[in-house]
Amino acid sequence: MIDFHSHTNFSYCADKDIDLSDYKKEIDKNPILDGVCITDHGMSIYFPNEVAWTWEFIRNEYVLDQHIDKGNARLEEYINLFSEYKNSSIHCGLEVEMSENGRLIYDPFYRNRLIPLIGSVHFLFSSKKYGFSLCDILNEWTYHTERLICSGIDILAHPFRWICGQSPVDYRLVEQIVKCAHKEGVALEINGHNVTLPIYDADKAMLNIAAEIGAKVSFGVDAHRKENIGDFSYHMKLLNDCGLNIRDINLLSRKELYEKHGRQLAT
Ligand SMILES: [Zn+2]
Ligand SMILES: [Zn+2]
265, part of any domain:
no
pLDDT of residue 187: 98
Q: Residue 119 sits in which domain range? A: 2-260
Distance CA 134, CA 141 (A): 10
Distance CA 205, CA 197 (A): 13
Residue 176 amino acid letter: Q
pLDDT of residue 87: 83
Q: How far is the CA of 195 from the centre of ligand 1 (A)?
A: 12
267, part of any domain:
no
266, part of any domain:
no
192, part of any domain:
yes
Domain count along the chain: 1
Neighbours of ion ligand 2 (CB under 5 A): 95, 222
Q: What is the CATH number of the domain that holds 212?
A: 3.20.20.140
20, part of any domain:
yes
158, part of any domain:
yes
Q: How far is the CA of 57 from the centre of ligand 1 (A)?
A: 16
Q: How far is the CA of 158 from the centre of ligand 1 (A)?
A: 7
214, part of any domain:
yes
Q: What is the mean pLDDT of residues 157-164?
A: 98
DSSP 74-126: HHHHHHHHGGGGTTTTEEEEEEE-B-TTS-BSS-GGGGGGSSSEEE-----SS
Q: What percent of the chain has pLDDT over 90?
A: 96
Q: What is the mean pLDDT of residues 111-137?
A: 97
pLDDT of residue 265: 64
pTM: 0.97
Q: How far is the CA of 244 from the centre of ligand 2 (A)?
A: 25
51, part of any domain:
yes
Predicted confidence (pLDDT) at residue 11 exceeds the cutoff of 70: yes
Predicted confidence (pLDDT) at residue 91 exceeds the cutoff of 80: yes
Predicted confidence (pLDDT) at residue 266 exceeds the cutoff of 90: no
Are 94 and 8 a contacting pair, CB within 8 Å? no
What value does the mean pLDDT of the chain take?
A: 96
pLDDT tens for residues 25-63?
999 999 999 999 999 999 999 999 999 999 999 999 899
